[in-house]
Amino acid sequence: MLTLKSRSRLSACARRLIYLLAGLALAGGAHAQSSITLYGIIDSGIEYVNNVGASRSTVLRTPQITGTLPSRWGLRGKEDLGGGLSTVFVLESGFATGQGSLNQGGRLFGRQAYVGISSDTWGTLSFGRQYSQIYWGLIGDTLAPNLFAAGVLDGYLFNSRDDNAIVWSKTIQAFTVGVTYSLGRDQVASAAAGGCAQSADDWKACKAMSAMLKYDPGTWGIAAVFDRNIGGGGVGSPLPSSSQTDTRYVLDGYFKLRTLTVGGGLIHRVNEASLTPTSNYWFGGATYALLPQVVLDAQYGLLRVRGASAGASAVAVRAMYLLSKSSATYVTAGRVFNQAQAAFTIDGGNATTSSNPALGVNQTGVMVGIRHLF
């Protein structure tokens, strides 16, 4: 027979058990509503580049930045808050496989570092180091950041990230609209490398802004982008004064036909810090799955600068063999044809000017590599 005291003890034990089970249930529910993903790319190999420098030397090395894609690792997280709201974050670090060092000026999370809130109704608002909208709008560039590609004629396209950025984006079915505004677009790089930090004396200096409108149902797509950097980096900077801007207007797109994808576009640029500010850059390319394991790519780019022989053209090809869903080997090659006042390099895999040819000299590059995704 249970006494009052015994029943009291049982009641206390039952309450503790209920609290424990409730806590476990809540913990399990929270875990089910949250996710963190570790992901990455390791892409490396050996490249050959000729006509380097005034001596027209030949180099054989491991690229610093990219093969078919830049090597990176990252963490992506999302927590469901209920009612169509979620918190999101991304921390993404770029590294050079040859020496294991950090890219993007030595930043730990130089590719992306942001946190934000996402709504099913209102879109996503995020804060931190993030891509300009030009990155998301280049849907017509079939080779993207390949080591040798038409993109070597405008190195900004795949390095278009902003520090201190506020980004809003919203997707409705196949339509996406995005806006980026940076309070100080580069706090780390030197002035010569494009560094431009927030200024207490000049509210306008070093700001950046971009906007994108994209329609992409999956079998074809079209995108329009506006991208502007405001100067203020001081002496030695590509944009010394806040009265100067560097603006790009992009229109591009693609279509798919079974195993063939064709894309192309135009970038009109007005750089007020240049003696010849206006240029047009056309690009086009195709990707063809010859076999389920074999993918072929080709691309052509043409840059013309108004009032100067400072443009170039570039052609690039790539063959990739898919070993699995995660691993692939490839060979890629490219050649750049410089006008008399131009010194573009075909080598998009190094952060410095160590691969640049002399003015007016053409250049060829070849690389054999391997890529693994995780």
Supply the CATH number for residue 111's domain: 2.40.160.10
Selection from 69, 138, 66, 146 nearest residue 314 by Cα: 146
Q: Both tokens of residue 239? A: 């944009």
Residue whose tokens read 């080598």:
347
* Residues of the chain scoring pLDDT < 50: 1-10, 13-14, 17-32
CA–CA dist 87, 307 (Å, integer): 50
Going 188 to 164 to 97 to 283, the CA torsion angle's sign is: negative
Task: Tell me the pLDDT tens digit for each residue of 239-260.
Answer: 999 999 999 999 999 999 999 9
pLDDT of residue 349: 82
CA–CA dist 342, 146 (Å, integer): 21
CA–CA dist 4, 139 (Å, integer): 75
pLDDT of residue 16: 56
Q: Both tokens of residue 249? A: 């207007």
Q: Calculate the dihedral angle through the C-alpha atoms of 245, 161, 317, 150, rounding to the nearest 10 degrees.
A: 0
CA–CA dist 143, 237 (Å, integer): 30
Q: Which domain holds residue 167?
A: 34-373
pLDDT of residue 8: 47
Q: Both tokens of residue 154? A: 């405008």
pLDDT of residue 26: 45
Considering its fold, how many domains does the chain have in total? 1
Q: Both tokens of residue 119? A: 């709504």
CA–CA dist 140, 266 (Å, integer): 10
Provide the CB-side half-sphere exposure for 50 (13 A, CA): 10
pLDDT of residue 210: 98
CA–CA dist 36, 87 (Å, integer): 12
The answer to whether 137 touches 250, Cβ cutoff 8 Å, is yes
Spatial neighbors of 2 by CB under 8 A, at least 6 apart, are 10
CA–CA dist 374, 356 (Å, integer): 33
Q: Residue 9 domain-assigned?
A: no
Q: Residue 18 domain-assigned?
A: no
Q: Residue 159 domain-assigned?
A: yes
Q: Residue 217 domain-assigned?
A: yes
- The strand pairing partners of 38, in sequence order, are 75
Q: Residue 1 domain-assigned?
A: no
Provide the CB-side half-sphere exposure for 169 (13 A, CA): 21
Q: Residue 11 domain-assigned?
A: no
pLDDT of residue 6: 44
The answer to whether 138 touches 252, Cβ cutoff 8 Å, is yes
pLDDT of residue 27: 47
The answer to whether 294 touches 320, Cβ cutoff 8 Å, is yes
Q: Residue 250 domain-assigned?
A: yes
| Residue 185: alpha-carbon gap to chain centroid | 15
Task: Tell me the pLDDT tens digit for each residue of 138-158.
Answer: 999 999 899 999 889 999 998
Task: Tell me the pLDDT tens digit for each residue of 70-107.
Answer: 999 999 999 999 999 999 999 999 999 999 999 999 99
HEC-encoded secondary structure of the chain: CCCHHHHHHHHHHHHHHHHHHHHHHHHHHHHHHEEEEEEEEEEEEEEEEEEEECCCEEEEECCCCECCCECEEEEEEEEEEECCEEEEEEEEEEEECCCCEECHHHCCCCCEEEEEEEECCCEEEEEEEEECHHHHHCCCCCCCCCCCCHHHHCCCCCCCEEEEEEEEEEEECCEEEEEEEECCCECCCCCCCCCECCCCCCCCCCCEEEEEEEECCCCEEEEEEEEEEECCCCCCCCCCCCCCEEEEEEEEEEEEECCEEEEEEEEEEEECCCCCCEEEEEEEEEEEEEECCEEEEEEEEEEEECCCCCCEEEEEEEEEEECCCCEEEEEEEEEEEECCCCCCCCCCCCCCCCCCECCCCCEEEEEEEEEEEC
Query: Residue 30 phi/psi, 5° resolution?
Result: -65, -40
Q: Residue 354 domain-assigned?
A: yes
